[in-house]
Amino acid sequence: MAENLIRKLIPHQGCVITRPGNDADDIQIAGSAMNWVMSAAIAPFVCRPPFVFRVVGKTDSTNLRMHFHRGELIFNWEINVRELKVFDPASAEQHSLKDKGFITTNEWHEISWEIRLDRMRVIVDGEVRFDGAGDYSGIESAPSVGPCFGSAVSVREFSITPLD
């Protein structure tokens, strides 16, 4: 089983990481400066595909975002909460997927971003929401998760699992 990194995440770009209580099994990630600042909690190391970036998280409203290199996943996008935004980690090419981006607010969701050498998949609560080809063999970056535009994101698991 992969190590849960929530106690080792590094705050970036105005990010504030708090724990709701001393014995809490989760953290809350929010922006400290302006509502439009895209804050993120970053892994304490860089990763190279193939791997699975797994987050068990929730948002209080909009914008649970995951990042890797030039890539980004946006759930509950502020413009259209039902549309999933997927930005390719190698090219930053944008994919907009109708009716694939909504996650219920204030409820835990398991999100897995599988990044292999030649393709990636996005799986939410066991449902594949995106599957596409790409060349990810030369990428090395630190994955991150966070809110945007005033949302607060809670995370109880942040893990990286190498793939064969």
Report d(CA 55, CA 156) in Å as an integer: 8
At 16-67, the pLDDT tens digits run 898 876 666 899 998 876 655 678 999 999 999 999 999 999 999 999 999 9
Report d(CA 75, CA 65) in Å as an integer: 6
| Domains of the chain from N-terminus onward | 10-162 (2.60.120.560)
At 71-126, the pLDDT tens digits run 999 999 999 999 999 999 999 999 999 999 999 999 999 999 999 999 999 999 99
Does the predicted model carry a pTM greater than 0.85? yes
**What is the amino acid identity at position 112?**
S
> Which of these, 129, 133, 108, lies nearest to 120 by C-alpha position?
133
